Structure formats: structure tokens, C-alpha cells
Structure 1
């Protein structure tokens, strides 16, 4: 390109080369990252001494990088300009024509009627396109395998994952009774979906095995945990309980673990904090790791070990909890409701432990 004056970067990118070459003279190479899976670079040669940029510098479209000159193998002042795709030189006019013939005065992307992709027009940026289509820049870059923010006129950008186009979805997820999943609509976020369905973001991520907050339109998310109770499948959590996380008590003694408090130990073992302190002659609530605590008053030197093979013991209207029992299984066995069992024993949770005496 003959002429004179300032030479500017054709597009945003990172300076990869800025040096002198016996043939190119003073020249610069800018890496614009991957576009549609192809690494695009531009080269500017024969510039005057005193380049305006250095290696590793990030430049913007239109930023000055040097002045036209005639260094190296040159017979007159001109610019040697190249466009490279994956290292191969291609006709730069394909890009120049794409820029000069863009939609006049366009301020928003021209979106195909199917809404799955957009063709970049002059003046577009990743932020502008992402914002116009209910995406974040990170989501747009991930959908298109982009490693930088550089885009070019005429470039086609994907707006949705293949097969996720579902027109006329509601912007706010709603769930009717019995529904266990929803389909993500444009503009949805994990917080929005969780809030609309009475969940926390952490619970929603756990239900769907998500390791990040990234979701996309058309994605199906569980909003209720489906479980099987007997022969009936239901979306409601059944009245079953898990075993306490506290280590097994042996001979009514407990060894303090990291994170324990007197309240936690007392609650997990069905006693009060006052009883726990009295049995262990404690004057304060301070305990330490590996400390041994009594979990019952010492009234006898002998201890009775609950049978492990015989049927559960029952006496009158009481029942002694055996290994594998749950409140639900005990209530069913004794012909009472779970609610009545909880109320009769003044319980605040479904947690029970082996050897506990239940009233029914």
C-alpha cells in the first residue's frame, strides 16, 4: 500500500513481533487470537525507525503502531500488509472488503432469524453482542472458543449451543406442583432460578452436579430431588434420616473432634449442655480436640451392651433404637404417624442414635 503517514492496528490484539528484518525492515506482527477456530495475525512491514509498540503490548483497533517508511528490501515509501490464518498468508482484501462493505450505520449485530448466531458488523464488540443477546462476555467466548476479545467484521458468532433453541420460553422459571425440572430461558441465572423455586444456589448446583455458575438457554435443571419411597416415586423428600456425623460413642465416652462444641455434642447425644458440663466437672464451655467427655452420669461400674442380634426391645409405650432404625421405620412399625412420634419425644430433628429410648 503506497503512501505515507501513521500506520494503525487493524484490530485489537497483542504485539508478537516488533523488530528489524533484513527484508521486512522495521516490522510488527499482531496476534488477534482465534476467530472461528483460526488463529489470525496481521503483519506491517518497512516502517520507519522508532516503532510505537513493543512485544507483549496489547493494542486496540486504530492504535498507532508506527509510521510508513522504506526500510529493508524496499524501493519506496509504502506499507507491506499481511493477514495470516494459522500461519498461512491469505488475501487481506477479504478482510478489508468485509470492513468497508459492512452495514452502513449499523449499531447492533445483524442476527439471523433462527437466533442461534450473529454476523459481526462494523463497530461491534463482544460486550455489545453479549449484552444484546442476554449473555455474558465469558459465555459468548466459551461458545465460540475465543481466546481473546478480538472479533472481525463478517465473523459469525454462535449465540446458543446446538439443539438448545426453544422459542418463546418464559423469562422467569416457574414450577407447578409435582414438577421436578425446568428449562433455562434466555436471561436466567442460577440465583434467579433458585430464588423462584425456594432453593439456595448451592442446593441447585448440588442437585445438578454443577461445578460453576455457568448455564445456557435450553439447559434442563432439576429443581426437586426425585426419590423412591417403597413402590411410589415422588418429588418430596421422604421422612428418612441419616446417621449422625458424630463418631460412635463407646462406653458412654466421647473424644472431642475438630469443630465440636458442647452444644453440638450434647444435641447429637440427646443430653443437655448442663448435664454434659456436670458429668465432666466443667466450669466453662471450653473444650479441646482429643478431650474425653462422659456422656452419662457414672452410677455403676458395669455397663450393659445393647443386643445386636435380637429383635428391638420394647417395653410398654417405649422403644429402644437399634442399628439401622429411622424415625419413619419405627413409626411404621408401631402404627403411629411420624409427626406424632416426633411430638411425643419433643424432637427438633429426625436424628436418632442407637440405644436411644423412644416414646410412642
Structure 2
């Protein structure tokens, strides 16, 4: 499972002896591997770049040239070495440019000195600026300046969902005559359904929500869904989070339960015996195939890649046997899933951390 845009990216610090990653590799990794790696595989002798990329939902070119430049187009894998298969918990960074100009400044008609280079289309009454570092997210920029992502988008012509913000430029984070101080202190409102709603909340959240969770720095959509016993599909639907959960905001409350829907999953283990004679533990993933003969419990924080890897199957098999939806986004947490079916042969293509 991969997770979402406006969540906070972590800056990587380079030292003379190597790089600091968001998640440490389980074995040795090439120093040229991307610094914001958040998930790794350990290469086996039977691995191919195509198989690894496919199992982890990334393109071969990204795996070979972007995430792991040492691999190259010849797919030079070293058995036992760690390779990156996910960046920044699946959260896309703010779009960056190749601007290399040193910051200078100009004075506009409002008497405010404006540093350059600056975001195209920035408002003329700006009185506070911030520099967009590589891997900054819109939510991170907004949070450190006490404003909302909506304000950041509006003052910088950044487009809907802040998708047009440039990197390595100065952006406007305050305007003349506007109060830009915000707080994440919890307040609440009571809606027509009688449920007290904490604020700030995710834009477009459903009105019949009865359970909320705060999105912390570094949270992924899969982590939020897992700790609340819901699916990523639920999280997307209830929070207007866009395709693949890419529009979920950071440092806001999101909906993780709605009136009339049970989202609490029991973790007590019982078993039933189906027509194939195999004892099936419960609770199980909805839509699981009937010819399953091997099961695994989905713990909080598990990813599809991790579940598949520890059971020697592919993510595609996991999705197929469990009605896992596109990109494995409908796998539930705190249930048993099918990791083996009668008359199937398993082939492990990669080892996850």
C-alpha cells in the first residue's frame, strides 16, 4: 500500500560516510540510492528488475534509474544488497524546477522586499516569503508558516490541491491585511448528525462521519487506515482524498468511520471449516477466494508488499485471492487474508524489509 501527497516529507541529511534514509536498509545499500527511501527489498539470485518493479507498483525505469542509479538499464543487481522500491512513504514531493539562480531581492510598489527567484503568479501584496526546499510538501510549507494549504495555493497560483507549486523558489506565505497565524489546537463543532467534529478537518469530508483521526507528520494512508481498522478505499471515499489517496492533507482530522457503517474489526481468532476441508480463521478479508488453504493476519502498519514477501507470493496474487482492488488498496487491516490457494505454486520475486 502506498500512501499520499500533502503529507509531510522528511529532509535527508548527507554525511561523508553515507546517507540517512527515512527507513534504514536491512542490508548494505549503494550510497547513490535515493535518500528519501522508505521501503527496501533485498535482492535474491532469482530476482529481475521487472519482477521487483511489478511487485512493488513502480516502473522499471524508476527502479533502475531514479531510485537505484547503481542498477542502471542493465539491471545490475547484487545478491544480498538492499534496493529502494518506495520513496517518502509513497508521498509525491512538490514539483521542482532546475532553477539554480542565487537568491536576490527586488522591492515592489508595496515597499516589501521580495526575494528571487519567486513562484510565478504570486500575489503582489505578499509580505512574508519562504523558500521551497527539495522534497518539501505543500502541507509542510503551510504548517511551518502557520497558514493553510488553501492559502498557500491561493497566494501562489498553485492550482487546485497545490499541484502547481514550484521547487527551489520563494513562495508567498503571508499577505498584507490578512491574518496568517493558524493553530492545530483541537476545537470542535457539532453538526446536524449530533456528532462533535474536531477541527481543522479534511476538505470535502463526508457529513455523516462519527469517528475521526488526526494525520500526523509522516503518516501514510495505509497507516491511518490500518490503525483504524478500515480500508484505504474507505479513507478515500469518506475524505474526498482523490485517486490513490493522493489528496489527503496533513495535520488535519480525517474521517475514519461513518454513521451506519461498522468499521471496527474483531481481532479474536475463531475458525470455520469450508467445503474444501480447510479450517479458515476469522475475521477474514471480504471477497476472499473459497479455495484458500493458507492464511496470514494483517497487522497494523503492514503493507501489501510486506505481506506478499513474507509468504513468498506476489502482490498480484494477494490482490487476486482477496479482492484487493486496484493497487491493493482494498486490503483490510486486522483480518486474515489468503496467501495460498489449493493447486497453486508460489514464486517469491523479492524480499521486503
Instruction: State the TM bucket, normalised to the shorter chain.
Output: under 0.3
> Larger Cα Rg: Structure 1 or Structure 2?
1
TM-score (norm 1): 0.28
Q: Please, what TM-score do these two structures have when normalized by structure 2?
A: 0.28
Q: Which of structures 1 and 2 has the larger relative contact order (alpha carbons within 8 angstroms, sep 6+)?
A: 2
